[in-house]
Every structure is written in C-alpha cells, then in structure tokens.
Amino acid sequence: MSTTTGWLFDLYARGGAMVLWFAAEDGERLRLTDPFEPRVFLGGPAEDVEACLRELGRRGDAAPEGWTERTDFWTGRPRPAASIRVLRAENWTRALSRHAERFPRVAWYNADLPPEQCYCYERDVYPLMSCRVEHEAGRLLSLTPEDDRWAVDYATPPLRTVELEGEGSLLGGRPRLRSLTLSHEGRTMTWDEPEEMLGGLQRALGELDPDVILTSGGDSFLFPVLFALAERTKFPFCPDRDPPTRPREVKTDGRSFFSYGRILYQAPEYALLGRWHLDRKNSFMLSHDGMEGLFEVARLARLPVQRIARRSIGTGISSIQLGMAWREGILVPWKKTAPEAWKSARQLLQSDRGGLVYAPETGVHENVVELDFVAMYPNIMSRFNVSPETVNCPCCRNARVPEIGYTICERRAGLVSRALRPIIEKRVQYKALRAEAARAGDERAHARYHARQDALKWMLVCCFGYLGYRNARFGRIEAHEAVSAWSREIILRTREICEARGWHMLHANVDCVWIVKPGFRDEEIATLSEEIAAGTDLPIALEGIYKWLAFLPSRQVPDRPVPTRYFGAFRDGTIKYRGIECRRSDYPAYIKAAQLVLLEQAAGAADAAGLRAMVPDLLRRVAEWERQLREGEAPMEELVIRQSLSRDPGDYTGHGAQSLAARQAAQAGLNLHAGETLSYILTSAGDHDRSRRVRLARLADADTRPDPGAYIRLLRRAANTVLWPAGVTLDETDPPPRRKTTCARKEHSPTTGHRAGQMDLFEQAGP
Amino acid sequence: MPRRASSAVLGGLARAFLHERELYCVDGANVFDPYAFGQAARMRGLSGEHILDRVFVTRAFTIHQLQAVVEEMLPPRGGEADGPVVAMLGLDHLFREETLRAAERGRVLAEVMKRLRGLERTGTRLLVTYERPPPRERFWKPMLEFGAVRGTVRAGTAKGEFIIEGHGNGTDSSYIQHLPAGGDRLLETLPPGTAGGAEDSLRPPVHEGTTPLGRGGERGPPDSIRRDADGDPP
C-alpha cells in the first residue's frame, strides 16, 4: 500500500468504476480506480415500481436495493422510494429512456445525473481537492481531504500546460491543416507537412506529458481536423492520457440555442481522458476569468474541469443545489412536472413583471451619486427564503411577497436560499482579500482574488434566471416572480428614503440608483446607505460619485430617455459607460478605440462646462481619424466587424451587410452555424453590385479595400455620442469629402439629440 | 405558435368570451397576453377588470408540466356541469423541442390527447390551437385526429393575413375565416358540451359552402360555418 498527497485532477466512469487521476505533489500523475455504482430512486404506484425493478434486474441494468425513505422536495416530508444501483453507468442513459417508456407511471429520481457528479456528491469530494490517498495496485483504498471547498485560500496544483495552434480550414466540409504548432515554456514545435503532424504531435505529447492542452478553437476546428486526418490516414492518434475504449466520432457541428434573447452556439466537445483539453473559444468561464475562475467554479460545483469549462455557468449553480439535495436525501425528480397554479389574467399582469426602472432624466448632471445594492437578487433569495418549495407552500398562509401576495414558508429554509448563502459570503470574503492585496501592492494575489470573486459573481447573476428557467431542476416561475416583486418594492422604499433625506432620484435601474442633492457632504452618503440597508434589509454600497454624468436619449426617438445608455467621469477620473458604441460587440475595434480615447479625454473635464470647452480638441482628433480612414492608414484587422449569426448562413435573405456576409460564408462553404461569429469588412457599402459591398474577413486578400465612407460614418456616430452632452453633432449621412478633411458641425440641444432622418441611410450601410 | 398569429387567436378568444362566465387557458407556448383581453373589453366599452378576473391561465414550460396540467388541473373547478371553457394555446409548441427524444414526446402527446378526449367525453368544452406540424413526423397523429373530428381551431397565416382555420378532416379542407369577422364565431367551432362519443367522432364531418385550402388557394366565404360532425348546429 502506498500513500500519495496531491490534488484530484480528473475523474470519469468506466466499467462499473470511477477512474480518478491525481496530480501528486511530487509531479507524478496517478491513475486509480474506485468501484462505483450510482444510486437512483424510483417512486409511483408500487406494482409499477416492482415490475420495473424486476425488469431492471432481468436486463442487468441495475441492482435493486429495496425500499427506503427519502425526502420529498416539495413537501419536505419523508416518502417511500425504491433504491437501485446502476450497474453500467456508460449505458444508463439509453436504459433509462427504455424503462421510462415501458413504465410511464414510475417516477424517477436522481436518475439522469452524470456518474462523475454522483460520485463527487456521494463521496464528498470535488475536482482540484487537495487530499491524501492510500492505494494499492492501481486501486483507491482511502481518500482523506486536506482542504475545504469553501476555503478562500487554497493551493492549486502546478500543471504542465501546452498551447496547441493550427492553421487551416474547414471550407467545403473538407478539413485541411496547413500547419500545427505546439508551444511549451517558450519552446515551439511546428509541423507543416500533413504526414508529419499527427506523428510529431503524438511524440511531443508523449515526451512532455502535459496536463493541459490549451487551444483557441480546438473544439470547433483543431481537434475535429486532427481526428479526421487520423481517420483518413489510419494513424492511431491519441491525445488522451488514458486511451478511450471506443474510437472517437468526428463531429464538426455543435448546437445553436436561444438564451436571454440571443442565439448562441456551442461547438462540439473534444474533452480528453486523464488530460484536459480547454478551448478558450468554447468556454465562457475560461475566457472571462481564466484558470483561477474555472478552478473556483469546478471546486464549488463538484464538476470535472473539462465539463464545467464547456457548460453554462447555470450548470454550476444547479450542481451546487443538486449536491446539497443529494447529501440531504432529497429526491431530485428526473422530469420537471410541477405546473404553475391557476392565476387570473389580472394576477398575471401584476406578477409577471421584471425589476423596476425609473427612466433617467436625459442631459448632463454634476455631482451624481450612484448606489448599488450588493447582489440584490441573490440576497433577496437568500434573506427572504425564496426557493421553489417555499413559495406558496401548502403549510403556511402569510401573503409575505409584496404586491403579489404570495406566501413564503415559515417552517422550512429553502434549498435554493441555503445554497446561495455561502456563495454570497465567499464572494464578500474574496472582495475583502482583493482589496487587501491591492493595498499591499500584491498584483498576483489581486488578480487571483479578482478572478475568483468574478466567477462567483457570474454564478450569482444567473441564479435568478435559473429560478425561472424551464429546464432548471430547482426552478419555478412563482419563485422567479416573487424575487422580482421584492426587488420592485425595495427600489420604491429606497426612493422614499432618499427623498425623505432631501435627495432627488435621477434614475433607478433594478438594483441601483443615481441621486443628486445640492451641496451634499460626503459623510451623508454613508448615513443614507445605512438607512437604506436598514429599511430594505439588503446591503447597499457606493459605486462612486460622478463629477459629471450624461444620460443619453434614444437614437430612434430623441425625446425619449433610455435606461442603459450613459457615460460619466468619477471624481478620480475613471470613466463608466454603458450601452454606447464602445460596449458593443458588433463595432470595429478601430471605432471603439477612437470613442474610448474621446471618453478618456472628456473624463478630464471637471464639469459640463469643461466638457463643452473640450469640443475643438475632440473634433481635431476625429478629423485625424477620418484622414487615416480615407487614406487607408487604419489597420485592416481593426476594421473587421464581428456579428453573431442569428440563423444559419444559408438562411439569410436580406441585403444588409450581415446578410450579404452570411451568404458569402455559405457560398464559400464555411461551416458556420447560428450563434457563431461572422467577421467581415465593409468594402463598398453603396455598390449596386451587392456582392461587392462587404468582404468576409476570411476571404480578404491584398486587393480588399475598406470603404472609407462607411467607416467614417461609423466613426461619426460613435463621436456624436460623446459630443452629445456638449451640444455638437457631426453629420452622419453626407458622403465625407474625398480630399479635404472637414467636419460638418451642427449645434443642437442636448435634449433633442440626433435627427432621426440622419440615421436612415446609415442603417442601411452600417452593421 | 407564431406570436402574431397567437395574438389573433387571443383577440378572437377575448371577444368571444366577453360575456362568458369564465375561460381557463393552458398556455403551452408562452403566448398568453392579458392585454389582448383588456383591449377587447375596452373596445366594447367595458372595463378591463370585466374580463381580467374571469380569465385564468397556467403556463407550462415542459411537456411533462403540460401533461401534469392536463391530468391534475383539468377540468377546472372539478368538472361541474356546464363548466367553463378550457383553451389549450399552442398545444404543439413544447412537443417540437428536439432535445427530447421523439419517442418520449410522442408518448406524452398521446397521453395528453387521451386525457383531452376523456375530458371532452365528460362534458368539458375544449378549444385547442396548434400549428400544422411537419407531415413526416408520425407522433402528431393523435393531435391531428383530435383536431379533425372535434373541429379544433388552428391559427396560421395565408398570404399575409391572419386566419382561423377549422379542420374538418385533418387535412386541408374545411373553412377559413378572417379573424376580425369570425372571432365571435370561435365558440361555434367548439364541440357542444354534450359532444358525442367515440362512434360519433369517427363520422366524417359535414361541410357546407366550403372551399378547400390549397386547391387554388381560395378561401371559403366568411360566413361559412362548419356544422359539427354529428350534424348538430354549431
């Protein structure tokens, strides 16, 4: 028997056991197995359950363990359930569907959870857990944790990481790889000949034995091409540490899905065994918060790193809730069946609403205070016990939810509320540690704590949406409505408190307020925050005090305010901006950078008058950028427009720039899907020949020339946003002069904004 | 169900039910819009409250929730005699979710339709709306059969106009009406409260003055009201 200390690195099910990889402290990578059969529960009519148990046993899919008692999620009361052990976890999904179809009256619990998750819940372990293991002949004998997943200061294993890049194409459905580069600690290996690539890469992986292969597009392009190449050349390519039992299927198509009003694309997954493949382009967590954020979520959610890297952040919060339910013996239904109770159309009107927004007072305001509620929605759920099973529970009657009168259970603490509490607290701890690191000048610690708290922030952000998400295990529309109702009440109370203290509310947007008071003293803000916190039972914090802040009107209807379009400069000179061009993903980098430069310069102004005085300087800068655009000095790559496809490229029919570019992509045989990003350049926006108006970035060559007029219009549009508070507008419609650089200048009132007529032509040419 | 088409159905429903006692809507496509009812009331010079307190809704977001609604919450108020009308809005919508296995969707749809047939036999007045499903998928059969013999109202578009189409034989015959004119007649397409049994339901429907849809694209006259399968006045 041997003892090893290290970290749990990877785990997956194979043949009635869990394969566990440990990254030992001494650098060794240890593969151990632990026999494991996930436990599933059955409920429903006893005769159906008994018949199903017999069938499960007869087919060898599961071993019945007999009847037991578990807790019902909705009532909190014990209920009888038949327990089974799944014998072949790899084949369970198919078996489950078959048995569910044959026995439709049987209710299944904990039935569709991946075996790795079940293992982590049952054994109380988690990925990247520091532990001591005893083992013999490749079998795990015992595992002793040496760390707590709620700890804020934990060590992570030193990992051997390589970066893999490839150049090639998937054009016309025929994958080609022109070159392949592997980088490791400053060394690079490049292969240019197809016959060398697979062999060379395989040898390098064998020699370096990396823990992590990092790619950008490995799921959508690189690994599909490599596996297709291996299939074609019959080369036994295996990038895993542990060879898979079945040959990999080459998949190039992922899935497009709809989320929060947008079509998103998820590339197919190429996860490895015993080694991680992490694709920056196919991982929200990795691209936002790096390895530190990814590790934090994997530990808390008890999900293998490669899985959580490729899943939405909601999967993480859901897994935390599932783990809690599992360990408390709560039955987790396979199919979500709890329906919404009948409500009248009037009740629906009252309850089916979002957060409260007070439209902003458009214009430039000075000395504005912004107060933000700290994690408002998660705190409402946690403090007010909002959880699917606690809203309108059968045991209480109290009409506690404001406006809509829903009852909140007084006898039970909700599962969702309890799951959120430690996450909120942990994030507060990380923020304090981050501030401490900033004071001490420790940049590495600052970056680490920032990434971890940011990862938790995303978890908390999506927990509210998950409460109303139809596929969420612990989601229920009434709970979602209750949270919104509470948030509206809290903003109303906040306004009352502010006004009682002589403050005027300029704007409120769901969880934050912008207020002003002539000649206020800074100490008053702390007092006001305390009063609001006491009056609402929620923590509120000062976001900052603006020297000046501009609330912009709508572009389409200039006399209408827009809640999320503003920019301003805090007293320390930092700028905050929302809803303007430089926040948009579909604007070229060149234009966004130009607008940011204007904003940074404007931030130097002490007040609105100072801002107006800067206009000549700002216009000079704009004129210089216009000259660069006209004379072709702007770098082509900074002029690329990137837009997310809302449908498959072949389905576009219009003549807008995006439609034209999408059709070019379809004609060129690019394997793009709805939700993927399309990159193109405006080449001749007004050309009668529509095919010449845009050029797909991938098809751009030495003859591709950006259309200066189109980009100057975009530039002026972005500049006009910054110039608006100063009452200046550049003409966005007239074709810019070809030789001389001049800017048409029109005085206008900040409240009238741009003329709608000016936008029409631009809309046709712009993204 | 397309949102604009569903608005048309809701508008028609609202007008039709202004003077009804109660309407219970099972919303399977998240299309229920209380404003449609308020607006219909105001157009007739009534207050919104007149109707908003008499229309009830439950929304299903998964096929299993829909099944639970149909099995556990219908008929509302325990199936009392001469009970309220139940409108199933966008019955097909959730069953188009391709992340679920077709066999599972087909099984649940069959269960739902079985339950609806049972409800109808006991006197519950049902109105079901759905979009025409892809013809190659066989699991829609129970829904189409139900529509064929019960005179289900379907919302759709033709040449840019919103129509209410009542299926007579599950294919493309029967009648089409412009909704603004025909909305009040929606009730007329409902099976009467004392609908016939299985025997009656298998009898081919009788059509009067109808023009088949898809054969030249002509529409039947707006006043062509289909008589029910058993020949009773609608």
| pLDDT tens digits, A473-484 | 888 999 999 999
Q: What is the pLDDT of residue A685?
A: 80
A342 closest CB neighbour out of B54, B73, B104: B73
Q: What is the pLDDT of residue A719?
A: 96
* Structural domain includes residue A740: yes
Helix axes B34-43, B3-16, angle to 10 degrees: 50
Q: What is the pLDDT of residue A91?
A: 84
Alpha helices by DSSP H, listed for A724-766, are 756-765
In tens, the pLDDT along A749-758 reads 332 333 322 2
Residue with tokens 């009948």: A342
Which residue in chain B has the smallest CA separation from A94? B101
Residues of B in contact with A477 (CB under 8 A): 59, 61
Question: Which of these, A571, A547, A507, lies nearest to A371 by C-alpha position?
Answer: A507
Q: Give the residue from B54, B65, B97, B115 with the most A CB atoms within 10 Å of its CB, the best one to mutate.
A: B65
Between residues A154 and A173, the one the model is more confident about: A154
Structure tokens at A297: 């979520």
List, as ranges, residues 61-90 from B with C-beta within 8 Å of A: 61-62, 64-69, 72-73, 76
Which residue in chain A has the smallest CA separation from B101? A97
In this complex, how many residue pairs, one in chain A and one in chain B, have their CB atoms less than 8 Å apart? 74
Same domain, A680 and A738: yes
As beta bridge partners, residue A357 has A509
User: Are residues B55 and A97, on separate chains, in Cβ contact within 8 Å?
Assistant: no
Count CB atoms within 10 A of the CB of residue B64: 20
Question: What are the φ and ψ backbone dihedral angles of A343, each rounded to 5 degrees?
Answer: -140, 150
Q: What is the pLDDT of residue A746?
A: 39
* Structural domain includes residue A314: no
Residues of A in contact with B64 (CB under 8 A): 335-337
Most trustworthy range by pLDDT among A349-363, A722-736, B11-25: A349-363
As beta bridge partners, residue A730 has A745
User: Are residues A337 and B59, on separate chains, in Cβ contact within 8 Å?
Assistant: no
Shortest Cα distance, chain A CAs vs residue B175, angstroms: 31
User: Are residues A100 and B24, on separate chains, in Cβ contact within 8 Å?
Assistant: no
Same domain, A396 and A490: yes
Q: Is the ipTM of this complex over 0.85?
A: no
Shortest Cα distance, chain B CAs vs residue A335, angstroms: 7
Class of the CATH-defined domain B3-201: alpha beta
Q: How far is CA A35 from CA A87, A115, A327, A572, A635, in A?
A: 10, 12, 20, 59, 59
Q: Residue A10 sits in a domain of what CATH number?
A: 2.40.50
Same domain, A543 and A599: no
Residues of B in contact with A105 (CB under 8 A): none
Q: What is the pLDDT of residue A740?
A: 41
Q: Does B101 touch chain A (CB under 8 A)?
A: yes
Cβ distance B113 to B126 under 8 Å?
no
Which residue in chain B has the smallest CA separation from A107? B64
Same domain, A571 and A586: no
Same domain, A545 and A653: no
* Structural domain includes residue A439: no
Find all residues with CB under 8 Å of A340, minimum gap 6, and list them.
A477, A478, B58, B59, B60, B65
Position B20 confidence tier, pLDDT thresholds 50, 70, 90: low
* Residue at which a domain ends, from A530, A562, A577: A577
Residues of B in contact with A101 (CB under 8 A): 103-104, 107
Question: How far is it, in rounded angstroms, from Cα B126 to Cα B190?
Answer: 7
Residues of A in contact with B55 (CB under 8 A): 344-345
What is the mean predicted confidence (pLDDT) over A325-345?
Answer: 90
Q: What is the largest CA-CA distance in chain B?
A: 49
Q: Give the residue from A106, A108, A342 with the most B CB atoms within 10 Å of its CB, the best one to mutate.
A: A342
Residue A401 has pLDDT above 80, yes or no: yes
B65 closest CB neighbour out of A336, A342, A344: A336
* Residue at which a domain ends, from A248, A264, A282: A282
Q: What is the pLDDT of residue B198?
A: 28
Find all residues with CB under 8 Å of A205, minimum gap 6, and list them.
A162, A213, A239
B58 closest CB neighbour out of A336, A339, A471: A339
Most trustworthy range by pLDDT among A241-245, B197-201, B219-223: A241-245
Position A667 confidence tier, pLDDT thresholds 50, 70, 90: confident
Same domain, A608 and A550: no
Question: What are the φ and ψ backbone dihedral angles of A251, each rounded to 5 degrees?
Answer: -125, 135
What is the mean predicted confidence (pLDDT) over B40-46?
Answer: 81
Residue B193 has pLDDT above 60, yes or no: no
Question: pLDDT over 70 for what percent of chain B?
Answer: 50
Question: What are the φ and ψ backbone dihedral angles of A33, each rounded to 5 degrees?
Answer: -120, 150
Q: Residue A701 sits in a domain of what CATH number?
A: 1.10.132.60
Cβ distance A32 to A23 under 8 Å?
no
The DSSP secondary-structure symbol of A339 reads P
Question: How far is it, in rounded angstroms, from Cα A133 to Cα A136?
Answer: 10
List, as ranges, residues 175-204 from B with C-beta within 8 Å of A: none
Q: Give the residue from A337, A352, A474, A480 with the most B CB atoms within 10 Å of its CB, the best one to mutate.
A: A337
**Degrees, nearest 5: CA angle B196-B199-B205:** 75
Q: Which of A47-56, A164-173, A298-307 has the lowest mean pLDDT?
A: A164-173
Q: What is the pLDDT of residue A109?
A: 95
* Structural domain includes residue A129: yes
Question: Which of these, A302, A489, A466, lies nearest to A387 by C-alpha position?
Answer: A466
Q: Which of A243-257, B103-117, B147-161 has the lowest mean pLDDT?
A: B147-161
* Structural domain includes residue A760: yes
Same domain, A141 and A84: no
Most trustworthy range by pLDDT among A100-109, A445-454, B38-47, B175-184: A445-454
What is the mean predicted confidence (pLDDT) over A707-723?
Answer: 95
User: Are residues B104 and A348, on separate chains, in Cβ contact within 8 Å?
Assistant: no
- The string of DSSP codes covering A574-601 is -EEEESSGGG-TTS-HHHHHHHHHHHHH
Same domain, A252 and A391: no
Residues of B in contact with A465 (CB under 8 A): none
Residue B36 has pLDDT above 60, yes or no: yes
A336 closest CB neighbour out of B59, B62, B103: B62
List, as ranges, residues 32-61 from B with C-beta within 8 Å of A: 32, 34, 37-38, 49, 51-61
Q: What is the pLDDT of residue A666?
A: 83
Question: pLDDT over 90 for what percent of chain A?
Answer: 72
Q: Give the residue from B20, B22, B64, B111 with the most A CB atoms within 10 Å of its CB, the best one to mutate.
A: B64
Same domain, A254 and A389: no
User: Are residues B58 and A342, on separate chains, in Cβ contact within 8 Å?
Assistant: yes
Residues of B in contact with A474 (CB under 8 A): none
Q: Residue A188 sits in a domain of what CATH number?
A: 3.30.420.10
Q: What is the pLDDT of residue B82?
A: 64
Question: How far is it, in rounded angstroms, from Cα A353 to Cα A259?
Answer: 19
Cβ distance A220 to A268 under 8 Å?
yes
In tens, the pLDDT along B154-188 reads 444 333 233 344 433 333 222 233 333 333 333 33
Q: Which of A376-385, A528-537, A678-687 has the lowest mean pLDDT?
A: A678-687
In tens, the pLDDT along A174-225 reads 678 889 999 999 899 999 887 789 999 999 999 999 999 999 989 988 998 8
Residues of A in contact with B58 (CB under 8 A): 339-343
Q: What is the pLDDT of residue A172?
A: 54
Q: What does the domain layout of chain B look like in residue ranges? A: 3-201
Range of the domain at A25: 2-35+124-145
The DSSP secondary-structure symbol of A248 reads P
Cβ distance A155 to A23 under 8 Å?
no
Q: In what order do the strands lie in the sheet with B174-178?
A: B153-158, B161-167, B174-178
Q: What is the mean pLDDT of chain B?
A: 62
What is the mean predicted confidence (pLDDT) over B10-22?
Answer: 68
Residue B113 has pLDDT above 80, yes or no: yes
Q: What is the pLDDT of residue B78?
A: 66
Question: How far is it, in rounded angstroms, from Cα B153 to Cα B184?
Answer: 13
In tens, the pLDDT along A646-662 reads 888 878 888 888 889 88
Residue B215 has pLDDT above 60, yes or no: no
Structure tokens at B83: 């009970």
Same domain, A378 and A526: yes
Same domain, A393 and A495: yes
**Helix H or strand E segment including B23:** strand B23-27
Position B26 confidence tier, pLDDT thresholds 50, 70, 90: very high
User: Are residues A101 and B107, on separate chains, in Cβ contact within 8 Å?
Assistant: yes
Tally the domains of chain A: 5
User: Are residues B52 and A336, on separate chains, in Cβ contact within 8 Å?
Assistant: no
